[in-house]
Amino acid sequence: GEVLPLLRRPLLLFWSEGELAAMDYDFKVKTASVRAKVEDIFEFEGCKVGRGTYGHVYKARRKDGSDSKDYALKQIEGTGISMSACREIALLRELKHTNVISLQRVFLSHNDRKVYLLFDFAEHDLWHIIKFHRTAKANKKQVLVPRGMVKSLLYQILDGIHYLHSNWVLHRDLKPANILVMGEGPERGRVKIADMGFARLFNSPLKPLADLDPVVVTFWYRAPELLLGARHYTKAIGERSICGAFYYLFQLLDCLFWPQGI
């Protein structure tokens, strides 16, 4: 019972009892904030707003009103922390670029054993932009896409992909739904490459895929070599996905190889 007082006596040579008490309080406050439950901090607004590779995405706001920002909370599917979730979290914690989605915080709910990833909320994505213009065209109310906007989107996407590839990261699922565009606010119009669920670190030259590794890239956005069954590929698969996405934007089509009648 006298261990703690004995340990505190040398500390009293440097700090008073009051200072030590204040330090203890600060430590407890910081520890409590780290362990805070996501349900206590954020209020979920309505239904889910999207779906990632391994989870659902919900729009949320802070309950205390400390800021008026909208946030996106990605709930990882299943219970516990899977290897895929660990890989995504590890990559996002290291990646820092204006055109790559930034991970703000990770929450681990002990009640339901769910993992939540906190991001800034993006109002739009490239898929919804394409869909909006397609619908307008079909209704004979076509809204022309400004050439400057297309140039800006393409430049920002290429800049983000160049950053990923320069840091030996393959996204492996580039498609319009994973290219977010920020809405009102200081980052209005900023592109954010999102959903790192399929992302992998790679070496040069790349090793062939393992037999159990899933075939990457959503079907309609795959490079020809993947469509033909290649097990060895390069970062060019991401560049082809970007070209496909911008073909859809230019032509206001769903997909480069979309079959008739679907």
Determine how β-strand 191-193 pairs with β-strand 105-109: unpaired
Q: Identify the band that residue 115 occupies on the pLDDT scale cut at 50, 70 and 90.
A: confident
Residue 1 has pLDDT above 80, yes or no: no
Tell me if 122 sits within 8 A of 74, measured CB to CB: no
SS3 95: coil
Residue 35 has pLDDT above 80, yes or no: no
More reliable by pLDDT, 244 or 134: 134
Decide which of 2.60.40.420, 3.40.630.30, 3.30.200.20, 3.50.50.60 is the CATH code for 38-120. Answer: 3.30.200.20
Percent of the chain scoring above 90 in pLDDT: 20
More reliable by pLDDT, 80 or 191: 191
Per-residue tokens: 225: 């070599």
Per-residue tokens: 165: 């590839």
Helices of type H across the chain? 3-11, 17-34, 38-41, 83-94, 126-138, 147-166, 224-227, 236-251
Q: Identify the band that residue 24 occupies on the pLDDT scale cut at 50, 70 and 90.
A: low
- The ranges assigned to domains in the chain are 38-120, 124-251
Residue 235 has pLDDT above 60, yes or no: yes
Radius of gyration, alpha carbons of the chain: 23
**CB-based contacts of 198: which residues, under 8 Å, 6+ apart?**
53, 171, 172, 173, 214, 216, 217
74 is known to lie in a ligand binding site: yes
Closest CA to 244 of 169, 186, 167, 176: 176
Q: Identify the band that residue 160 occupies on the pLDDT scale cut at 50, 70 and 90.
A: very high
More reliable by pLDDT, 5 or 91: 91
Q: Find which of 36-40, 63-67, 144-148, 251-255 is predicted with most confidence, using mean pLDDT.
A: 63-67
Q: Is 173 a catalytic residue?
A: yes
CATH 1.25.40.420 holds for 124-251: no
Tell me if 100 sits within 8 A of 163, measured CB to CB: yes
Mean pLDDT of 55-79: 86
Percent of the chain scoring above 70 in pLDDT: 61
Per-residue tokens: 118: 């906190």
Residue 119 has pLDDT above 60, yes or no: yes
- 173, 195, 213, 254: the catalytic one is 173
pLDDT at position 2 is 40
DSSP letter at 204 equals: S
Residue 176 has pLDDT above 70, yes or no: yes
